[in-house]
Amino acid sequence: MSSSSISPLRGLVEVTRLLRAREDLPALLDAVARTIGESLGYGTVAVNLYRPAWDDFEVTTVYGNEEARSALLGYARPGDDWTVLLAERFERRGAYVVPSGSVDWGSLGPSYVPEGVRASDPDAWDPEDALFVAMRDQQGNLLGIISVDEPRSGRRPGDDELDVLVALTDHAALALEAARESADSRRHQRALQELLAVSSRITGETSHAEILRRVCTGIHDALEFQNVCAALVDPDNGMVVPHAAAGWQLEEMRSRAPVSVAQIEPLLDDEFLREGCYLLTHEQARERLATEVEVYPSQLNGRGPWAWNRHWLIVPLRDGGGALLGILWVDNPSDRLVPSADRLQALRIFANDAAAALVSGRHLGELRFLANHDPLTRLHNRRAFVNRLEGEVARGRRYGRSFGLVIADLDGFKQLNDRYGHPVGDEALVAFANVLVESLRKPDDAFRIGGDEFAVLLAEATEDDTRRVVARVETLLQRLASGGERWAADLAASFGSAACPEDANDAQSLFRLADEALYEAKRSGTVLSFVARA
């Protein structure tokens, strides 16, 4: 076998080795260009990689002299130019041979034309000749173009040389595809690891803001979106309120004009559904949004058919029943590309975890709340009251501070229940609890300690202070009675008060004295009774 045959075979073996090695992309492309140049005898080899975000081909690698590198490296030729150069009329055995004078190079942007003179031999290589081979993946999609120039033989390639060049380029395309798949796999693995980490960190978390902050950060880091915002629906007014952000400043997001669920719903149309996410072009979103909705302009936009160009990407957060809890708004992908199906699926998983954690956190928070609160009136319960009373007594002993304990009991509550029914009875209890809270400077000073019995703790309160609080309660009850509900006219209460340390300096005795004063008030009809003192 001749040395001229061995060299291309060595090149083929070298590119095959690169395919197995799956080196990092810059090193791989350098090796491919060098291998083609050395094995096939070309002085200049350039690798033009397709950039889908821009629909162009950027020269990322140049094997050859410094003049060629200076002229070509970093230049991005538009896809339309390559449509001209890869025309069917130039195709030959899978390569594209562009003879001198067949295209107007001046209209196609900068090119490298090596020094040399035109030869009279028709098979001689002309300085303005060009030779290109397309690199395609296994689905036929264009990955890039390899251009070769300055053959050391000085002659245009024959069919055998073109066959070898195409074979080398096909192997280079496989190596390039493998390297990209390996990089994608690593990114996907990182995304899954981050997803698992975020999922573990938000499990058992009750703070909505913290759950959403961690989810936004996870999406930002793992899926490489520069801007992420998580917003929750305010059930009182239907507004979508930002609670966390990554990339964006949360204060900036909150300062913008508020958006309602009604304004967002037109975007959540099945027409735009992709892997559980809603992806719209800017024009589609603008058509469906009210004109007063402020639009944030994306910064990382491209211009190719697969490019991100001010797209809208919204992922709904829904509870188990399908109700909308909030949304994730995602923008500015680092690669400037519309997200792939895998990326959207990962985004949907992040959203599902966030929604599950929000629902779980809400339930867990409610359980923790109910450990110390009454589920009906939302006041602190008897357990919290006992702990607080004992704490106040201990502080009073230590620091010499006084406080008053007031016990309240609804008058005729059984009759009200019997007359109007238990649902109205519950409504009356809630109404009285709200009156107590409104009558106090500190809402946490009110307690429901059982049935229709309530308690109030008043720090540093005199008997006159207690009378004023009870008077406010009576005033509010009268106002409630005039509001139109029939049962409200029957809502009344009696109060008994004891002071610490004047009446007792232990919790049990203080409560007993206040309770006795309460029943004295009921017996005498005086509304409020204090502990009798000698």
Q: Which residues are catalytic?
A: 452
Q: Please choose, from the candidates 3, 1, 33, the residue with its C-alpha nearest in 3D space to the C-alpha of residue 15.
A: 33
DSSP 500: E
| Upper half-sphere CA count for residue 43 (Cβ side, 13 Å) | 18
Strand 453-459, strand 403-410: pairing: antiparallel
Distance, CA of 306 to CA of 51 (rounded, Å): 10
Coil/strand/helix, residue 380: strand
Q: Tokens representing 396? A: 């009073």
Q: Tokens representing 322? A: 């399908």
Q: Tokens representing 452? A: 């229709």
Sign of the four-CA dihedral 368, 373, 378, 379: negative
Distance, CA of 504 to CA of 89 (rounded, Å): 107
User: Measuring CA to CA, how many Å separate 12 from each of 6, 8, 15, 164?
Assistant: 10, 6, 5, 8
Q: Please choose, from the candidates 18, 35, 48, the residue with its C-alpha nearest in 3D space to the C-alpha of residue 143.
A: 48
Distance, CA of 519 to CA of 534 (rounded, Å): 19
Q: Tokens representing 338? A: 């519309």
SS (H, E, C) 381-450: CHHHHHHHHHHHHHHHHHHCCCEEEEEEEECCHHHHHHHHCHHHHHHHHHHHHHHHHHHCCCHHHEEEEE
Residue appearing with tokens 């697969």: 306
Distance, CA of 208 to CA of 59 (rounded, Å): 48
Q: How far is CA 406 from the centre of its chain?
A: 49
Strand 324-333, strand 312-318: pairing: antiparallel
Length of the chain: 534
Distance, CA of 121 to CA of 241 (rounded, Å): 76
Q: Please choose, from the candidates 445, 454, 444, the residue with its C-alpha nearest in 3D space to the C-alpha of residue 477.
A: 454
Q: Tokens representing 448? A: 């429901």
CB distance 445 to 457 below 8 Å: yes
Q: Tokens representing 473? A: 């309660």
Element at 504 (helix H, strand E): none
Distance, CA of 357 to CA of 351 (rounded, Å): 10
Distance, CA of 441 to CA of 457 (rounded, Å): 11
